[in-house]
Structure 1
Amino acid sequence: MNIEHLAHDDGQMVRQYEYDDESVLVVDFGPQDADASVDVVDGTVIVVLADEQQEFELPEHAGSAQALMKNGVLTIELEEEDTL
């Protein structure tokens, strides 16, 4: 699943912010998922909620990625890949 599918299919609040050298994706799962955890593995963001796991593929152009979860809000920071 990708982030756009999550927003459309599950009705989650999803925002994307573009900066000069990075993009930030923010997904609000709500306060009921405040204890969720997140990890990034090989271009996939893995979110573990109370009793389910969701995986999101990162865009192909993404360089390094960091993800964090706080109070039910998932933030994914994507640094643009350097192209020579």
Structure 2
Amino acid sequence: MRLKQTLREQGLETRRVDYEDRTEYVSDFGSRDGVSVDVVGDTAIVVAGEEQHDVELPADARVFLNNDVLTIEVNK
């Protein structure tokens, strides 16, 4: 399954940004309390308040959370 489709199915609105060597999927959680992300195997577990989203990741994905903005970076 494609990452964008997986994020949409999990209810996460994302913006896709393409660069020469990578693609980033960015989701801004705004000012929700308690946003966190953990990566277990090939799954990113995103918790935002009362919500939990399990996102299956491609093998080469890197996941970042900064100021309640989730970024999933994938090499092209």
TM-score relative to the length of structure 1: 0.65
Matched, 1:51 2:47: no
CA contact (8 A) 2:17 2:25 kept: yes
Alignment deviations for residues 27-81 of structure 1 (CA, whole Å, 9 cap, x no partner):
0112114x311123333221122334211123xxx4421111122211111123x
Q: Deviations over 1:5-28 (max 9, x none)?
A: 24xxx4x54100112221100001
Partner of 2:25: 25
Counterpart position of 2:8: 4
TM-score by length of 2: 0.70
2:49 is paired with a residue whose SS is: coil
Coordinate RMSD, CA, aligned: 2.3
Q: Take 2:75 and 2:42, find their aligned partners in 1: how far apart are those partners? A: 12
- Which runs of 5 or more structure 1 residues have no equivalent in the other structure? none
Distance in 1 of aligned mates of 2:9 and 2:50: 20
Aligned residues: 72
- Identical columns (%): 39
Residue type at the aligned position of 1:3: L
* Deviant stretches of 4+, over 6 Å: none
Larger Rg: 1
Q: Which runs of 5+ in 2 are unaligned?
A: none
Question: CA distance change for structure 1 residues 22 and 63 in 2, over 3 Å: closer, same or farther?
Answer: farther
The answer to whether the Cα contact below 8 Å between 1:63 and 1:79 also exists between their aligned partners in 2 is: no
